[in-house]
Structure 1
Amino acid sequence: MRRHELTDQEWELLAPLIPRAATGRPRVEDRQVVNGMAYKIRTGISWRDLPERYGPWRTVCTRFRRYALDGVFTRALEQMQARADAAGDIDWLVQIGSTIVRAHQHAAATGRNGGSTGRTNRNDHALGRSRRGLTTKIHLACDGKGRPLALLLTPGQRHDSICARPLLECIRVPRTGLGRPRSRPDQVVADKAYSSRGFRTYLRRRGIACTIPEKSDQQRHRHSRGRHGGRPPAFDRQIDRRRNIIERCFNRLKGFRGIATRYDKTATSYEAAVSPASFLLWARSV
């Protein structure tokens, strides 16, 4: 095993989910190709610059695109989460947050005219303009141990509060046996960007407790209304101190240079790069 490649344990978890062709000419070994994908995501190099030990770069790139469209990495991540949930290893004190990723000039060359399918808006390929130029925002929900549960890609200028509800609805941890996937956290922890009456009402209707600090302007507005302003929302400072877990999760994800800077033109490819990185975070924590 070389640097940035999958360990034997990680490959054993991923190998059963790799699709295999029943007919056709002999192809490059699956583990060799997947190691090339992992190397590319970890280092952020161009597909053409892949070392020769991973086989033809076009083969690695084509299979990566095929796996992205088939949702191979997403299913691998869900299976890993299902095993952890069955073992009682998931801490359902869910934390949500976002981080901005700068888009490289190679990613900005897209025409932005794709169709709209799946969880991510492909019309703009999750590229938007902000103070940093063309950027993508990764919205992430992680468990209490800092492992990704769900992610959502949006343009960089999209506000966090708009994506809070869709992000929580992306949490679907399958059961190993019978039963529907689990989608409801025990509690949600977030920063002031998610402090809104609509989001708090949504959590209350689903029976989810929350620890979200109230904005100063919201406090002034409530105080100005007197007794008609209602009671202040519940806030646990001890739980709020654990909010740094989501930031540590982002730091580990951005240890992959192909994620810290976006080089992929399409949102599908970039999301497919974040999924195996999240899978590796899970695989190394169990």
Structure 2
Amino acid sequence: MGRGDLLDQEWAWLELHLPRNVGRGGCWKSHRGVINGVLFRQRTGVPWRGPPARFGKWKAVHDRHRRWSAGGTWERILRAVQADADTEGRIDRSMASVDSASGRAHQHAAGARTDAPRTRGRRGRPVQHRPDEALGRSRGGLTCKIHLAGEGGRRPLAFVITPGQRGDAPQLIPVLERIRVPRRGGGHPRTRPGHLGGGKAHSSRRNRRYLRRRQIKHTIPERKDQRANRRRRGSAGGRPAGFDKTIYKRRNEAGRTINALKGFRAVATRFNERVYIFHGTVTVAAIRLWLRP
């Protein structure tokens, strides 16, 4: 076992949710070695040809990560691991926090063809590529942004990847819509946190109306311009938003979750041209955070 590889306890949790061998040819014999190779590349940020030979052929590691990213396998594994944590009572459902972080895109992440043929995912289903590939250009170069909702234990519940110049407020609803923690005993998945904390960048009338409709209590400070506009309108501007300083102090949990994700160099710097592969890269990092005892 090398540094950064899956521990025996982590592998025992993860092995239950991995795809089984299908068809002929003995495919997918070395799940553990290949996944350790993916984690090595995530942690170090080396090119795909860089991992040591003990992980097997580099092309097998690359292709399995690409196919599982395209077919949604990594996402299904993440949901299964979250369900296990929920059954064991390891999810802090009292509060969730939202935050975002921009990351630089390597020069090799640029230049993806927008007219490239669509990649086939699980059971031959085509994977649609975004025309912008979630890359934004600014004075600093190419950037992308991870919008994340994290639980109280500083582990990610859901995330969305956008170009770096996108604002935080329009992405709050898409992030919350992606929170789906299955229940092992059956029933609807858990989709609502007990309380939501956000920053001023997430403040908007549309977001607050959405949170009230879903009956999600929230602590999001009001921006000065929004407060001034509400006061100028008088009674038509509505009531001021409630704010609890004690609860708001816990919003740093989302930022600490992002810092944990960025501990993986392949997440802190985007090397992938295709956004669906980078989405799989972030998902693998999230799975590793959930597997840690």
Q: Report the TM-score range of the alignment, normalised by the length of the smaller protein.
A: over 0.9
1:123-147, CA deviations, whole angstroms, 9 ceiling, x for partnerless residues? Answer: 2211112343211111111111211
- 1:42-53 map, 5 Å: 42-53=43-54
What is the Cα deviation at residue 81 of structure 1? 1.1
**Kindly tell me: are residues 134 and 217 of structure 1, through their superposed partners in 2, closer, same or farther at Cα, counting changes over 3 Å?**
same
1:186 counterpart = 2:194? yes
Inter-partner Cα distance in structure 2 for 1:11 and 1:73: 15
- 1:163-174 map, 5 Å: 163-174=171-182
- 1:1-286 map, 5 Å: 1-19=1-19, 20-24=21-25, 29-92=30-93, 93-113=95-115, 122-284=130-292, 286=293
Letter in 1 for 2:103: V
Contact in 2 for aligned 1:107/1:264 (Cα 8 Å): yes
Percent pairwise identity? 46
What is the RMSD of the two structures over their aligned residues, measured on CA atoms? Answer: 2.1
User: Greater CA deviation, 9-18 or 55-64?
Assistant: 9-18
Inter-partner Cα distance in structure 1 for 2:28 and 2:228: 66
What is the Cα deviation at residue 240 of structure 1? 0.4
What is the Cα deviation at residue 161 of structure 1? 0.8
**Matched residue SS, 1:109:** coil
Contact in 2 for aligned 1:147/1:278 (Cα 8 Å): yes
Letter in 2 for 1:14: L
Contact in 2 for aligned 1:195/1:214 (Cα 8 Å): yes
Contact in 2 for aligned 1:120/1:152 (Cα 8 Å): no
Letter in 2 for 1:144: G
What is the Cα deviation at residue 85 of structure 1? 1.7
What is the Cα deviation at residue 179 of structure 1? 0.3
What is the Cα deviation at residue 208 of structure 1? 0.6
Contact in 2 for aligned 1:189/1:212 (Cα 8 Å): yes
What is the Cα deviation at residue 186 of structure 1? 1.5
Letter in 1 for 2:101: T
Inter-partner Cα distance in structure 2 for 1:112 and 1:119: 13
Contact in 2 for aligned 1:120/1:154 (Cα 8 Å): no
List runs of 5+ in structure 1 lacking aligned partners. Answer: none
Inter-partner Cα distance in structure 2 for 1:246 and 1:35: 27
Inter-partner Cα distance in structure 1 for 2:128 and 2:251: 26
Inter-partner Cα distance in structure 2 for 1:11 and 1:245: 27
Inter-partner Cα distance in structure 1 for 2:100 and 2:128: 15
What is the Cα deviation at residue 50 of structure 1? 1.6
**Matched residue SS, 2:2:** coil
**Matched residue SS, 1:48:** coil
User: Greater CA deviation, 137-146 or 16-25?
Assistant: 16-25
What is the Cα deviation at residue 157 of structure 1? 1.1
**Matched residue SS, 1:49:** coil
Inter-partner Cα distance in structure 2 for 1:248 and 1:214: 23
Contact in 2 for aligned 1:119/1:152 (Cα 8 Å): no
Inter-partner Cα distance in structure 1 for 2:86 and 2:279: 23
Contact in 2 for aligned 1:17/1:72 (Cα 8 Å): no
1:226-285, CA deviations, whole angstroms, 9 ceiling, x for partnerless residues? Answer: 34333210111100011111111111110000100000111111111111111111111x
Inter-partner Cα distance in structure 1 for 2:80 and 2:156: 13
**Matched residue SS, 2:282:** helix
Letter in 1 for 2:9: Q
Equivalent residue pairs, number: 285
User: Greater CA deviation, 13-22 or 194-203?
Assistant: 13-22
TM-score, length of structure 2 as denominator length: 0.91
The aligned residue for residue 122 of structure 2 is none
User: Greater CA deviation, 70-79 or 111-120?
Assistant: 111-120
List runs of 5+ in structure 2 lacking aligned partners. Answer: 120-124
